[in-house]
Copies of this chain bind each other. A is one copy, B any other.
Amino acid sequence: MPRSSSGYQPRKTPVQRRSWRTRERIVTGAARVFAEYGYAAGTTDRIAAAAGLSIGSLYQYFPNKDAILVVLAQAHLEQTAEAVEACLSRPRPAREWLPELTSAVIRLHADNPRLHQVLFEEAPRPPQLLARFRQVEQDAVETAAALLRSDPEMHVDQPELAARMVLATIESLTHRFTSRSHHLDTAHLTNQIVTMTTAYLQTCRTPR
């Protein structure tokens, strides 16, 4: 728990080129430390050491430990939002965007599953982060629902519900099969998730 002043804003904005690099070193070092030690044992001392930095310098850039975690989490969140945007921005049938989106989500997580687990499950998520999280999720659901509604090959009964289920399935199964070692390679996993969600969507056809 942070004992210091509240807030997660950066303490000072770097002006010299040197300090920009230092900030980057802290963030990437923190990613390594959190992934290896988890949240609780990922101490600020360790993060500073991993960044090749003194503890005092670290606190020139971040007001507290959680602020570093927030930066990491937000980066992942924005990456995800971008991927969703890229897959769902233009209208096209689910047959096209479903495999693409699944593959993108898996790719985003295959990178460093343990870190994501720490960021979004183990660590405490500040309200600010949670709000953005929900927003990205809600946007994705609404966009996907719209695509389903105008899908010429697919007539699902309740697009909102179907979209939520499909997106939840993609993300949940991705988390599950990348975090623990279930020896399911990326290609097979993508295949299985696409099979499952496609089958589901086809079952949700409106009876006519």
Q: Determine whether A192 belongs to the interface, using a CB cutoff of 8 Å to chain B.
A: yes
Q: Determine whether A85 belongs to the interface, using a CB cutoff of 8 Å to chain B.
A: no
Q: Is the CB of A121 within 8 A of B124?
A: no
Within 8 A of B (CB), among A172-186: 172-173, 175-177, 182
Closest to A124 in B: B38
Closest to A172 in B: B172
Q: Determine whether A19 belongs to the interface, using a CB cutoff of 8 Å to chain B.
A: no
CA separation between A195 and B192, bound complex, in Å?
A: 16
Q: Is the interface of A mostly helix, strand, loop or mixed?
A: helix
Q: Determine whether A200 belongs to the interface, using a CB cutoff of 8 Å to chain B.
A: yes
Contact with A199, one of B176, B177, B203 (Cβ below 8 angstroms): B203
Q: Determine whether A55 belongs to the interface, using a CB cutoff of 8 Å to chain B.
A: no
Please tell me the size bucket of the interface on A: 20 to 34
CA separation between A147 and B12, bound complex, in Å?
A: 62
CA separation between A40 and B118, bound complex, in Å?
A: 14
CA separation between A173 and B193, bound complex, in Å?
A: 13
Q: Is the CB of B199 within 8 A of A161?
A: no
Q: Per-position contact with B for A182-208: 1 when CB-CB < 8 Å, else 0? A: 100000000010011111101110000
Q: Which 3 pairs across A and B sit closest by C-beta, in order of nearness?
A: A172-B172, A199-B199, A199-B203
CA separation between A164 and B199, bound complex, in Å?
A: 17
Q: Is the CB of B177 within 8 A of A173?
A: no
Q: Is the CB of B169 within 8 A of A196?
A: yes
Q: Determine whether A165 belongs to the interface, using a CB cutoff of 8 Å to chain B.
A: yes
| Residues on the B chain within 8 Å of A15, using CB | none
Within 8 A of B (CB), among A142-175: 161, 164-165, 168-169, 171-173, 175
Nearest CB in chain B: distance from A171 CB, A:
8
